[in-house]
Amino acid sequence: MSYEINPDITRATTLDARFYADHAAWDTCRTRIFARSWQWLGDTHDVREPESLSPRDLLPGLLDEPLLLARDKSGELRCLSNVCTHRGNILVKSACKSADIRCGYHSRRFTLDGRMTFMPEFTEAKDFPRAADDLTSPAFAEWRGHAFVNLDRDAVLPPVFAELDMQLGGMPVADFAPDPASAQDFEVAAHWALYVENYLEGFHIPYVHGGLNAAIDYGSYRTECLPGAVLQVAHAREGEPAFDLQDEGRPVAALYWWLFPNLMLNFYPWGLSVNRVVPLTLSRTRVEFRSYVWKPELRSRGAGSGLDRVEAEDEAVVEAVQRGVRSRLYPGGRYSPTREAGVHHFHQLLTAALG
């Protein structure tokens, strides 16, 4: 099947419902979208010191690519393949400090920039070593204490990060404290795109999220579509926690940034909630929640409070939609030009990537 979206939202029809049951489209998303896009690899707090190593798995359950963050003696941070170039052994299994990388299988060694330096019993091997014996480095960037990677080595960090920097200004995001005790993974019985669609519109807030609706001014809720991203701005009701910054002359309760295809950076007055969406099957998705705290005294108030409750409400409605889009009697719907610009933008990016 082929999928396309009319760029005119006032005339456009949503994705053909068959997309959510299409195995070929799901496989294409895996190879053309997730394996070629910038992905969050977590924070860099455990590799702040020189000669630090931290293994990371890229999208477990979907891509399962073993990677390694390595900060060398000079302080430069890199991302390397965590697979030995000899026989494919996993090199580093837990975060540690080391001046080099050593394979525990046959003792091949690498510098912290990935160059192979030692291999026993290879004196008779011809044309050895070669460039292929070094560890591969995917495209990598560290942004405000967080690691991002793209398996396409020639990829360039998208401009949305410059937009983020402009909006956040001097907010000390890199110094927000990780809160591992609140880290949670949720498995949702729904297609990954349905979860993203639900996130990208505030249309459902008054009907699904009573607590959140009481903390924000739904009437002034706005959505901004950017290249490869969507920003949703929620203004605070009077008396509710807000940022020092203002938007259109109003206090801001939350900044909801979505980066194509599967990352949510939710900024609240208390700090940052990172949500990563990982497709597992056509009808099962893992959503990972990680918190980084700036002002803990604001954690239980305003738009950023009760996130577990909001997630449970979202899961219930998304799982109901999953059942609905599989109906033989549902062909697809229309977009609200007022409230669903973010969903329309996502569908355009999605169908363009699918080709």
What pLDDT does residue 247 have?
85
In this structure, are 136 and 260 located in the same domain? no
Q: What is the pTM of this model?
A: 0.96
**pLDDT tens, position by position, 219-242:** 999 999 999 999 999 999 999 999
**pLDDT tens, position by position, 285-323:** 999 999 999 999 999 999 999 999 999 999 999 999 999
Q: Which domain covers residue 99, as residue numbers?
A: 39-150
> Has residue 25 got a pLDDT over 90?
yes
In this structure, are 200 and 103 located in the same domain? no
* CATH number for the domain harbouring residue 110: 2.102.10.10
What pLDDT does residue 72 have?
98
In this structure, are 135 and 181 located in the same domain? no
Q: What angle do CA 251, 256, 257 make, to 5 degrees?
A: 130
What pLDDT does residue 66 have?
98
> Has residue 100 got a pLDDT over 80?
yes
Last residue of a domain, one of 122, 150, 178: 150
Q: Does residue 162 belong to any structural domain of this protein?
A: no
* CATH number for the domain harbouring residue 263: 3.90.380.10
In this structure, are 278 and 347 located in the same domain? yes
192 within 8 A of 262, measured Cβ to Cβ: yes
Q: Does residue 32 belong to any structural domain of this protein?
A: no
Tally Cβ neighbours within 10 Å of residue 340.
Answer: 23
223 within 8 A of 199, measured Cβ to Cβ: no
Of all residues in the chain, the percent with pLDDT exceeding 70 is 100
Last residue of a domain, one of 150, 185, 205: 150
Q: Quote the number of domains for the chain.
A: 2
In this structure, are 183 and 124 located in the same domain? no
In this structure, are 108 and 220 located in the same domain? no
Last residue of a domain, one of 118, 150, 182: 150
Q: Strand locations in the chain, DSSP E?
A: 39-43, 52-58, 65-71, 77-81, 96-97, 101-102, 109-110, 116-118, 139-143, 146-150, 177-178, 184-188, 222-226, 229-235, 246-247, 250-259, 263-268, 271-281, 284-293
In this structure, are 208 and 66 located in the same domain? no
Q: What is the mean pLDDT of residues 185-192?
A: 98
Tally Cβ neighbours within 10 Å of residue 99.
Answer: 11
